[in-house]
C-alpha cells in the first residue's frame, strides 16, 4: 500500500517530529543551554520578573504551538523554535516555584518527575505507545509536547538540585550528566535497553546537561562559571541552532522516510 500525498483525515498527519540523528541531540543540548541562559537573560539582564518573563515567553510558545499543530508534517524551523521556547518556559516555571514561591528544589524535582510519569502513563494507556516515530495524530502530539514541557522543568530542577543544593558545581554536574547519558547509550547498544525508554531517559538528562553547560559558560567566575554572561552565551548558542536548522531545512536529513510516517489506525485517531 502506498502512502497518499496528503492524509485524508486532517487529524491524521505525517510524523511531526524529526528523525533521531546526531543533529537531533546536538540541537537538543544547544536548546537546553539556551533555555537556561536566555531565562537568566530575561530576568537578570533585562530585569523582567519571573512572572512577566513566564507570561511573555509562554504567550510566544502558544502562538508557535498553534502553527506547529496546524502543520501536517515536520517543519524543522517551526519544531525547533517550539523546543527552544518550551525550554525557556520550563526553566522559568521551575525558577518561579523555587525563587518566588520558596518551593525547595527536591520538591520541584519530585513533583515534575511524578507529573512526567503520569503523562507517560496516560499517554501509553490511551495510545499503547510512547514512540516518537508515531506522532501522527493531534492527540499524540498533545501528549508529546506536554511530556516535553515536563522533561524541561524536571531537568531544570534536577540540575539545580545537584549543582547548587548538593554543591557539585556546574562543571562536575555537566560531567555527571554526560556520563549518565553515555551509560544510557551503552545500555541501549550493548545490553538491550529498549529504544523508547532509552530515548526518554536521555531526553530528560540532556536538560540538566545543557543547563549545567549554560551556567558554566555564563555565570561569573566567582560563582564557578567562566564569566561569558547570559547575553553572549545565548547569542552564540542561538546562532549555532539557527545554522544547523538551516542546514537541515535544506538537506532534509532529519525528515523521517514516508514509510515510517503512515497514518495511525482509526482507533488511535482523535
User: 112-170: per-residue pLDDT in tens?
Assistant: 999 999 999 999 999 999 988 888 899 999 999 999 999 998 888 888 888 777 777 88
Distance between CA atoms of 36 and 65, rounded to whole angstroms?
20
**Cα angle vertex 239, ends 238, 243, to 5°?**
115
- CA torsion 128→132→135→140, rounded to 10°? 50
Model pTM score: 0.86
Q: Please tell me the predicted confidence (pLDDT) of residue 166.
A: 78
Question: Which of 112, 58, 67 is CA-nearest to residue 88?
Answer: 58
Residue numbers of the chain with a pLDDT score lower than 50:
1-12, 259-270
**Cα angle vertex 174, ends 172, 179, to 5°?**
95
User: 84-97: per-residue pLDDT in tens?
Assistant: 999 999 999 999 99
Amino acid at each position: 500500500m502506498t502512502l497518499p500525498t496528503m492524509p485524508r483525515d486532517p487529524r491524521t498527519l505525517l510524523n511531526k517530529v524529526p528523525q533521531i540523528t546526531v543533529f537531533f541531540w546536538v540541537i537538543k543540548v544547544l536548546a537546553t543551554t539556551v533555555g537556561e541562559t536566555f531565562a537568566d537573560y530575561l530576568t537578570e539582564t533585562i530585569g523582567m520578573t519571573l512572572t512577566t518573563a513566564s507570561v511573555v515567553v509562554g504567550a510566544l510558545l502558544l502562538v508557535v504551538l498553534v502553527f506547529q499543530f496546524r502543520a501536517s508534517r515536520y517543519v524543522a524551523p517551526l519544531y525547533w523554535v517550539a523546543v527552544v521556547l518550551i525550554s525557556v518556559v520550563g526553566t522559568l516555571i521551575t525558577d518561579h516555584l523555587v525563587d518566588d514561591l520558596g518551593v525547595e528544589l527536591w520538591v520541584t524535582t519530585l513533583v515534575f518527575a511524578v507529573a512526567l510519569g503520569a503523562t507517560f502513563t496516560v499517554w501509553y494507556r490511551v495510545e499503547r505507545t510512547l514512540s516518537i516515530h508515531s506522532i501522527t495524530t493531534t492527540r499524540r502530539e498533545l501528549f508529546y509536547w506536554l511530556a516535553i514541557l515536563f522533561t524541561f522543568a524536571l531537568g531544570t530542577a534536577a540540575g539545580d538540585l545537584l549543582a547548587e543544593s548538593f554543591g557539585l558545581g556546574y562543571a562536575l554536574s555537566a560531567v555527571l550528566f554526560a556520563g549518565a547519558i553515555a551509560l544510557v547509550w551503552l545500555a541501549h547498544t550493548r545490553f538491550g535497553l529498549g529504544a523508547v525508554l532509552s530515548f526518554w531517559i536521555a531526553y530528560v538528562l540532556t536538560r540538566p546537561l545543557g543547563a549545567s553547560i549554560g551556567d558554566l559558560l555564563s555565570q561569573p567566575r566567582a560563582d564557578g562559571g567562566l564569566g561569558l554572561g547570559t547575553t553572549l552565551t545565548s547569542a552564540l548558542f542561538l546562532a549555532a541552532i539557527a545554522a544547523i536548522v538551516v542546514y537541515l531545512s535544506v538537506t532534509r536529513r532529519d525528515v523521517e522516510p514516508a514509510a515510517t510516517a503512515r497514518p495511525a489506525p482509526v482507533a488511535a485517531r482523535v
